[in-house]
Homo-oligomer: A and B are copies of this chain.
Amino acid sequence: MSDAALPATVADVPTPCLLVDIDKIKRNCQRMLDTARNMGVQLRPHVKTHKTIEGADIATAGTRRKIVVSTLNEAEFFAANGYDDILYGFPISKEKIPRCQRLANQLSEFHILYDSAEAMQWVQDAPLNPGKQWSVILKIDTGYGRAGVLWDSDDVVTVAKAAVDADNVRFRGIYAHCGGSYDCKGVEELKEFGAINTDRVTTVRDKLQSAGIACEIVGTGSTPSCSHPADNMAALTEFHPGTYFFYDNEQVRIGACTLDDVALRVATRVISHKPSKKQLVTNCGHTALSYCGQKEAGDEFCVVQGHPNLRLVRLCQEHGMIQPVTGDIDFDDHPLGTMLYLYPYQSCVTAAHHPVYYVHSGEKIVGMWRPTRGW
């Protein structure tokens, strides 16, 4: 669609669609850049949240260097668009080695994560072009319980050594997702948890140091912990949050941001009235919003902007049903065609449902972004 076809304002967009507020995005990105710089830490933004060149340009302040991606599709997309120093932030698996070889040969810096000696064997068995070495980072689990070598296990030295000892491999350091911060509530808890997480990361760093293995890169991240960083996070070299780009209702509930920071909404219209259920039927179904957060937050998973007494209580493929928390609903206040703006629970999930983002500054639509997709 050419710019000539842009809707004029947020009130004119086709529905359902994804609205992203460029001014809030810029503010969120600048704030995170400032936070990292003030702590003397390199920000390596995670671009899985938006998966767009335009977004990554803002998040990297135009450098097009130092990003994290969640899929090889993202890595290839950003590499094809002039990005470099890309970290593939997912434990390497054998089937992905050939595509990683191409990226490692193509880019000046392409980093991979690994979390086992077995994975390192696949890497060292895969040759790169002359003069090229694999740049590898050990994935650490500081208690989140996902991928990664447990921080307090002796395996950290053994598995790091597997890379250090490999000929065509350069061991760069360690990385840990600070996923437990999603269970925090409020700034104080976030800082306490961030401090504990950092202690664990630096414990691994020191343990490797004692074994003669230097960590040039010591990274952690998560939007909650990086939005309100603990003082000791200055001991790290890299942060890699992603969701702060848009923020979302989950981050508001955690206390990482306020609703005013949230740059992503789904625009939907009332398409039917259901007096028998006191419900507005809208054209925002799960294809536009996702079910994410229903299990965690019940009917509060989604916020209907400007209507604190309304809740999205049910989703079908293309329908979303909205009803009052208490009292009746006056349908005259919400005639057919009324636009409603929904703040989803998790912005990465909802953004991944949309082929295009409608970008606005104030009320004016200023562009359209098309994210990449797939694996």
Contact = CB atoms under 8 A, between A and B. Distances in A.
Interface of A: 14-17, 48, 70-71, 90-91, 93-95, 115-116, 118-119, 141, 145-148, 150, 179, 269, 271-274, 276-277, 279, 281, 283, 286-288, 290-292, 294-295, 316-319, 321, 336-337, 348-349, 352-356, 373-375
A141 to B, nearest CB: 8
B356 A118 contact: no
B375 A336 contact: no
Nearest to A294: B295
B14 A272 contact: no
Given A71-B318, A95-B337, A274 B145 contact: yes
A350 to B, nearest CB: 11
Nearest to A288: B375
Nearest to A270: B93
A147 B319 contact: yes
Given A14-B375, A93-B337, A115-B272, A349 B286 contact: yes
A90 B317 CA distance: 11
28 contacts: A14-B95, A14-B375, A15-B375, A17-B375, A71-B318, A90-B271, A90-B318, A91-B271, A93-B269, A93-B336, A119-B336, A145-B276, A146-B274, A146-B316, A147-B271, A150-B276, A283-B375, A286-B292, A286-B349, A287-B349, A287-B352, A290-B290, A290-B291, A294-B294, A295-B295, A355-B373, A355-B374, A356-B374
Contact of A291 (B116, B273, B292): B292
Given A14-B95, A354-B374, 17 more contacts: A48-B317, A48-B318, A70-B318, A71-B318, A93-B269, A93-B283, A116-B272, A116-B273, A145-B277, A147-B274, A147-B281, A290-B291, A291-B295, A317-B348, A317-B349, A352-B353, A356-B374
A182 to B, nearest CB: 10
B317 A16 contact: no
Nearest to A118: B336
A89 to B, nearest CB: 9
Number of identical protomers: 2
Nearest to A292: B291
A271 B336 contact: no
Contact of A281 (B146, B321, B349, B354): B146
A203 B354 CA distance: 41
Contact of A272 (B91, B277, B286, B356): B91
A16 B375 contact: yes
A245 to B, nearest CB: 14
A349 B277 CA distance: 25
Contacts of A14: 95, 375
Contacts of A93: 269, 271, 283, 336-337
Contacts of A316: 146, 179
Contacts of A374: 354-356
A147 B316 CA distance: 11
A268 to B, nearest CB: 10
A355 B353 CA distance: 11
Contacts of A283: 90, 93, 375
6 closest A-B pairs (Cβ-Cβ)? A147-B272, A291-B291, A93-B271, A355-B374, A295-B295, A70-B318
Contacts of A70: 317-318
A321 B95 CA distance: 19
Contacts of A116: 272-273, 336
